[in-house]
Chains A and B, each alone.
Chain A
């Protein structure tokens, strides 16, 4: 029972990271019908920025806030400068552009920071936290806390501010949004900025667990895809829940199902994707998209 609780908590921690990245994928997908394959590499690159600030002696939370800000502005700029010019192109062309971004971020990070694995600090205390007979990793609890706070803030923003409402409107109905005076182009850019910001937080939270290197997010991105597919690419809330579910399932399966262990865990994510696509393609909470042809 103790092991079970521990594994659930650490599953929720990685799940929070999948949930964050899945949410940023879904946000861009909803607004533009495009899956941003560079989402993970953008997060990785942001984490390297934080790392070099920390190396220059910046206090953790200062580096955190700076990184998140730069990621936001960077995401905004990528949409304005790189995605915008191909906005009218077929979806496939835009997807290719995001794949190009993936490769560019990956190689620039390798060139700037090398492919050597680096440790990345956790901002949370070291000492294990005991509750009753169960021992929890403080970083796990911290990650769960940070992701929950971020998700709640995002929810408040989208639900209760007029800018958040405009963002949702622009994603659902661009033509109608222009008619009420919403600058749809800027809303899309803002969406990219927010997605990059969420990704940066996820990157900094996961780096202490999996270490820092240019390919660190490739596995995480697949889990994020699995989460978004499970929850539904059309449902932000579903994607978040999917993230936590995938995190917990992954951890429990790795612990209790002997042959899965750590080697087959990624296969499990792919299995989730395939099974969901076969059984309920729109995901647990997504709506089937009806397209008129």
Chain B
């Protein structure tokens, strides 16, 4: 399978502090890649690097074109939707307005009504709450809104930063089920950052383990699942 996103030897820094030290990863067209790692390993920074939200060096290609060094808003316009850490929802705006904004960068806005129907189909509770301010939603609902908003872009690549964080297991399973459906039915490629290795490895086909800014292990998700070191430290059995 051809790679939709390829990051080669990416370094990233916040001011003087270098956080990623030459990280290489890829997302296949139509695939799901997961980046695992403990708190502070640099997972969020890896997603920020893709979106041009941090200073980087190295090479990042999307669909064969270099995107490193480009402005975040231009990268979004290429069809990369990012549901960031902390969810990035506009808490002062209504659910519906958040979804509108998700489609802001799209060139064709003709079938917007269809897209609202589509995300309300995945997340029925968003339809009920569409006039409510996003800040009044529960944590799980806000996470669903973040994913729904990302979908409004009709993205080719979906970046998800720890969608399971702080949510009840049932809610997490529901979100992962929807991500799988989106990937299968709409061929949206996914780059999923997670601390919950067990769930992420079930979903992904390709996986990377980050340790303090370096890729420690990379390979097919099924292989990582069997890896003893990962089983011991991240899967807990």
Contacts and interface: CB of A to CB of B under 8 A. Distances in A.
B100 interface: yes
Size bin of chain A's contact surface: 10 to 19
Given A165-B97, A175-B53, A176-B84, A182 B90 contact: no
B90 A169 contact: yes
Nearest to A168: B93
B76 A169 contact: no
Contact of A175 (B81, B88, B149): B88
B14 interface: no
A146 B57 CA distance: 54
A293 interface: no
Given A165-B97, A165-B100, A176 B105 contact: no
Contact of A169 (B71, B82, B84, B101): B101
Contacts of A89: none
Contacts of B93: 165, 168-169, 172
Contact of B84 (A162, A179, A183, A184): A179
A155 to B, nearest CB: 15
A180 interface: yes
Interface hub of A172, A175, A178 (most chain B Cβ within 10 A) = A178
Interface in A166-196: 166, 168-169, 172-173, 175-184
Interface in B60-79: 71-74, 76-77
Contacts of A179: 51, 72, 76, 81-82, 84, 88
Given A181-B77, A184-B73, A176 B100 contact: no
B84 A180 contact: no
Interface of B: 51, 53, 71-74, 76-77, 81-82, 84, 88-93, 97, 100-102, 104-105, 149, 153
Interface of A: 162, 165-166, 168-169, 172-173, 175-184
Nearest 8 CB-CB pairings of A with B = A181-B105, A181-B76, A176-B88, A178-B72, A181-B73, A179-B82, A180-B101, A181-B77
Given A178-B72, A178-B76, 6 more contacts: A166-B104, A169-B90, A180-B101, A181-B74, A181-B76, A182-B105
